[in-house]
Structure 1
Amino acid sequence: MSHTVLRDLHTTGELAARYREVPGLLAGLDDTGLRRAGAVLSRVDISDVDPALARFTVAVTGSSALQPIQAPLTAQLARHGFVPDVRLGGYRQHAMELRDPANPLFGTEPDLTVCVLDADEVFGALSTPWTVEDVAAALAEHAESVEALTGAYRRDHAGALVLTTVPLPRHWAAQIVDLRSRALLGIAWREFEARLLRLAVDHAGVFVLDLEPLVGVAGPLLDPRMAAYTKVQFSDDVLAALAREIGHVARALRGRTSKCLVLDLDGTTWGGVLAEDGPTGIVTGDGPVGEAFTAVQKAAKQLAAQGLLLAVCSKNDEDRVRAALRDNPDLTLREDDLVALVANWGAKPDNLRQIAEQLNIGVDSLVFIDDSASERGLVRATVPEVPVIAVDADEPALHLHALLADGWFTTQRVTDEDRARGERYRTERKRLEFRERTESLAEYLAQLGTTVELFRPSEAEIGRISQITQRTNQFNLTTIRLDVAAVTAALADPGREVFGVRCADRFGEHGVVGAVFLTRTEGACHIDNFLLSCRVLARGVEDAVVHALLARARESGATAVTAEYRPTAKNGAVAEFYPKNGFQPSIADAGLFTHDLLTLPPAVPHVDLRVPEATD
């Protein structure tokens, strides 16, 4: 078992040196296995781990004893490719810790702070006997306290804050004997939880995880003996479920949200075997089994409506798959819902790579769901960066829950750009067909009719600009990730400028595809970061933008423009972007470049670009 391998590596002193292997060892483990693995990983001195691996620091505080969350949270972060640093605050010290930026819990600024709240803090403030009105008053006071703590934390810290809702344990509700008053208690409690959830809407960089759905799946909420003897107000299973959710928040904050769900078909998306049953003989639609498969199709479409890309990777004849998607009247999923369809008898790892290449995204942006243990094992062994969801063809009722058990597609905010993503990828097929009909790349670009606009983002567009910094990896010159609060702060800073990049061509709108962050000083301008979606690369857009920025800087009186390139595992293709546009490398800092603005790079003739006027 993988956790025993980790234990052996730790015993021999090799675990820190071989930390790159950890995500693969954790893949496929259940919560018990992850908890055991996390206990081992928690003992690793992270200063001994390769500094090139991504760190993620989480500070955990709350009104309950929370030691049992350390192991599962460490494992969850590690399975997502982070080197975890999980720090626990003191018992019931959360109010003091969140108010004090100098508290030892924040000795190093955490990437994420988690505050776990529980009901005993509310009831502990009451005298016995108490009434529903007493509880309602205590809840109002507690909500005001949490709101104040949230504001204090956001003023003093750059890292995000995660709060939890507070499920009402039955042993408190049951102390009210009349049903009407018990209903009033439930109303007051849910209004309190609604105020907590509202914090995620009203504050940038604040997220509230609703524990009610987690308790419904992972419950019971608590172990009475542990609650009484150790003051841990949550069961191990609920804390493991919470750790899983926090892990996906961390992924979203670091721009690792998966972009594409790749569906196997036979036994996964529909019942039966297409090659044997034919396009209209597969199981879907009516009946208990058919409805279970239909639930998966509907969930996939629901996710796609929010920006997830859908693709198919199936061992089948392509013409049969297309016929089934077209002709079976009971299917919810259709070919038009897909951005890629690969159906053949080749190896699925190769087909997954083909899908990623076709969509111009990293293979680690895919999530693959399949009912075949051998296929899943082959993918895990050959393409370990692809998360694999296991389902059983004989238990289709569990498919939907397996698909949604992990938050692979969790994102900070869904934007209009997300909702249009699938259609834009389908439009890209028309561009590819058009490219094939032209005799050269130059002819294709000349006839494409590309227009680019640099614009100052409105409040409604801040979420999309933040998302670009989170999700863009290839054309991202520094890979600095910014949440909504950080983008808002940059827009409000008089010494900085933020531009969005909007693009269109003869086939339609690409939408907001990039962002530029600038810092202006007397006589100079610094490009903090320049990001562009991979779907508009190699069309001259990037060169047109940098030409416009340089021309604009010169017109404003600047004598130089500086810029940074910080290499990562994924942005090597843009290492020469600044030098090829006339920037000279710094002798003192290999990642810093300067353009003297004497000779600008040529404008891009096939790109029509609009730029806001320079401000004083």
Structure 2
Amino acid sequence: MELELSWLPPPSDDWAIAVKKMEQEGASWSDFVALAGARLGFLETERLDRIFGRYFAHDPPRGVAGEPIRLALLGSSTLAHLRSGIRIAAARRGLWASIYEAGYGQYLQESLDESSALYAFRPNAVLIALDARHLAGAVASAANEAEAEAALGETLARLELCWSRLTARLGAAVIQQTLPPVFPHLLGANEHRLAASPARAVARLNAALRARADRSGVSILNLDERAAQDGVRAWCDPALWLRAKQEISPIASPLYGDLVARILAAMQGRSKKCLVLDLDNTLWGGVVGDDGLDGVVLGQGSALGEAYVSVQSYALGLARRGVILAVCSKNDAENAYAPFDRHPEMILQRDHIACFMANWDDKATNLRRIAQELNIGLDSLVFLDDNPFERNLVRKELPQVAVPEIPDDDPALTPQILSDAGYFESLGATDDDRARMAMYRQNRVRAQLQAAATDLPTYLRSLEMELEWRRFDSLGLARTAQLINKTNQFNLRTRRYTEAEAAAVMEDPRAFGLQLRLEDRFGDNGVIAVVIGRLDEEERCVIDTWLMSCRVLGRMVEQATLNIVAEEARRLGATQLVGEYLPTEKNAMVAGLYEKLGFSTLERRADGSALYALTLADFQAREALMRVRRAGE
């Protein structure tokens, strides 16, 4: 049984022809990424990976998205067959990955030895993929509960030592793989009552790994849950373990790689942000414009109606954890709104939708409008539509937009397909995430107020804004790290931090980390900006990181932030602020920020980057039409 990437479209008829041409002639990175975006099996993945090795393996090519990934695999079994799946799944997201595999079973030795090849590789991410037989062995061989508990503690302590060394010495993000349930039961349904049960040991280790990973800032690759969903035999072949010590079957490599790559993408803030929904035969059965409100199939009383309820419920669940919802429908607006306003079985309401496009323009055009209105990139969108024609059109016109394959006759499968695709993979959920739906609703009111205002200062004063700032603290650390790793547009240097690295700023007497929160009379925008400054050898305060959410653009937050940063730099004893702009594919909007704020140019480079300085003795606080206060004052 081969595990399918069911949400991806099957390879086109000319896929093999395009691959053969690429093998012979090479190709651009964008062409390679397009080929990786199909539903590939193990053999197709291996073939594409050979092209990667020939043309792209040594250095990141032009057009790569995000920061190049240097991933180290640390394991206790054979892992070489999994590298192709990871590289191709990363490429599917536009990411470039170089992979180092530690020596067989040498994960602890290499993590502790700073002269090892692991440290020479300098990974920015480490995947610890230990097999169940290795990790659960001591726990499973215990004679009684006390021995089992002691063995469990020793095993977890060894892993935590590995995590802490990798984080502290390499600054790498750590991913810990859970153990697949490969052992047959000895006792049966009440296996948890047998101390010397390998199956019980695996279950206990997986539960403990999750708890300790949460405390250590380590991400989990949930292989146990995925294997239980797909069937353990689909993932793990006992014969392959005996012959080659492969716990994960080669045929599972493409899906395994995708599970890893979506976590790596989330670490770089490259998960999708917005689910765009078609309406007719996607959120309800039937065509509301033809069948009328009474003819819409939705709700209790029919299997099909309940299936559409499950689609809406899943979408609402995504919205409540921070995913933006939008509508893109070929419909008269009045007909499109009718079920939201008047159908008693509708789960989704108008207030849940951040952007509503219902007209007769083509869907690619409306998706562009949605991205523009929400101020997010097209590559942040996932478009859900039951119509194969519309899906194919959007894939052709807007390859940046993710378009999952869903069955056109069984909406009951849609929530699981969206979940399996992992578009919205996240490393955690913060209070700001959960409040995002309300934030976008408030933004609509602000936009209406701005349209009615006669001038910008009048509008900004009418918002009655208050900017609250505080230094990094443990309470806000998760949101701070999340914002650092997901903000791409208003981001001067686009440097990523793990939670541990952000926490280290709190302990550095020659640095400061600031988190800023904006409220106005319509509500709380949450934490919207992060700044990190450090004293260099010349006692200048270098702005290491400055980023801001695009939700608050145009509100003079930049000016207010600079005032705060200047005072914090003076507190450190600096006489000069130094800022740097490093261009990426997404941050052109801040290319001239430092100049607009009165910095002088120190250096312009051929790659478009530049260095700026501001003398603090001459600095006068910039006007910002808001109240600014430090938290607690």
Could you tell me which residue of structure 1 aligns to residue 99 of structure 2?
A: 86
Could you tell me which residue of structure 2 aligns to residue 248 of structure 1?
A: 262
Distance 1:411 1:127 in 2: 33
Distance 1:509 1:335 in 2: 20
TM-superposed CA distance for 1:472, in Å, is: 1.4
Amino acid at match of 2:227: V
TM-superposed CA distance for 1:43, in Å, is: 4.2
Residue 322 of structure 1 pairs with residue 337 of structure 2: yes
Could you tell me which residue of structure 2 aligns to residue 335 of structure 1?
A: 350
Q: C-alpha deviations, 1:147-200, integer Å up to 9, x for none?
A: 3322332232211111111133244x3xx3677567423544422221111222
Which of 36, 55, 58 is equivalent to 1:47? Answer: 58
SS at match of 1:519: strand
Residue 207 of structure 1 pairs with residue 226 of structure 2: no
TM-superposed CA distance for 1:325, in Å, is: 1.1
SS at match of 1:314: strand
Greater relative contact order (CA < 8 Å, ≥ 6 in sequence): 2
Distance 2:615 2:136 in 1: 67
Q: C-alpha deviations, 1:411-432, integer Å up to 9, x for none?
A: 2221111111110110111111
TM-superposed CA distance for 1:335, in Å, is: 1.3
Over 3 Å counting, the alpha-carbon distance change for 1:321 and 1:179 in structure 2 is closer
CA-based RMSD: 2.6
Contact 1:268-1:391 at 8 Å conserved across structures:
no
Distance 1:359 1:608 in 2: 26
TM-superposed CA distance for 1:36, in Å, is: 4.3
Could you tell me which residue of structure 2 aligns to residue 409 of structure 1?
A: 424
Could you tell me which residue of structure 2 aligns to residue 119 of structure 1?
A: 132
Q: Structure 2: which 5+ residue stretches go unaligned? A: 1-10
| 1:432-451 map, 5 Å | 432-451=447-466
Over 3 Å counting, the alpha-carbon distance change for 1:182 and 1:563 in structure 2 is closer
Which of 555, 576, 595 is equivalent to 1:539? Answer: 555
Distance 1:125 1:545 in 2: 54
SS at match of 1:563: strand
SS at match of 2:121: coil
Amino acid at match of 1:513: I
Please give the TM-score of this superposition, normalised by the length of structure 1: 0.92
Contact 1:42-1:71 at 8 Å conserved across structures:
no
Bigger mean CA deviation after superposition, 283-292 or 603-612: 603-612
| 1:121-520 map, 5 Å | 121-122=134-135, 138-171=151-184, 173=185, 176=186, 183-184=193-194, 185=197, 186-204=199-217, 206-219=218-231, 220=233, 221-286=235-300, 287-520=302-535
Distance 1:452 1:565 in 2: 24
Q: C-alpha deviations, 1:515-544, integer Å up to 9, x for none?
A: 111113575322112111111111211122
Contact 2:284-2:305 at 8 Å conserved across structures:
yes
Amino acid at match of 2:353: L
Over 3 Å counting, the alpha-carbon distance change for 1:425 and 1:140 in structure 2 is same
Distance 1:331 1:101 in 2: 58
Bigger mean CA deviation after superposition, 496-505 or 514-523: 514-523
Q: C-alpha deviations, 1:16-73, integer Å up to 9, x for none?
A: xx11222222224244444543354244443365256342121112121112211211
Over 3 Å counting, the alpha-carbon distance change for 1:412 and 1:426 in structure 2 is same
Distance 2:191 2:534 in 1: 59
Bigger mean CA deviation after superposition, 591-600 or 418-427: 591-600
Contact 2:75-2:129 at 8 Å conserved across structures:
yes
Over 3 Å counting, the alpha-carbon distance change for 1:391 and 1:142 in structure 2 is same
Amino acid at match of 1:121: H
TM-superposed CA distance for 1:465, in Å, is: 1.2
Residue 592 of structure 1 pairs with residue 606 of structure 2: no
Distance 2:165 2:375 in 1: 42
Over 3 Å counting, the alpha-carbon distance change for 1:226 and 1:451 in structure 2 is same
Contact 1:586-1:592 at 8 Å conserved across structures:
yes
Amino acid at match of 2:176: L
Over 3 Å counting, the alpha-carbon distance change for 1:584 and 1:464 in structure 2 is same
Over 3 Å counting, the alpha-carbon distance change for 1:374 and 1:253 in structure 2 is same
Q: C-alpha deviations, 1:320-349, integer Å up to 9, x for none?
A: 111111211122111121111111111111
Please give the TM-score of this superposition, normalised by the length of structure 2: 0.89
Q: Structure 1: which 5+ residue stretches go unaligned? A: none
TM-superposed CA distance for 1:553, in Å, is: 4.0
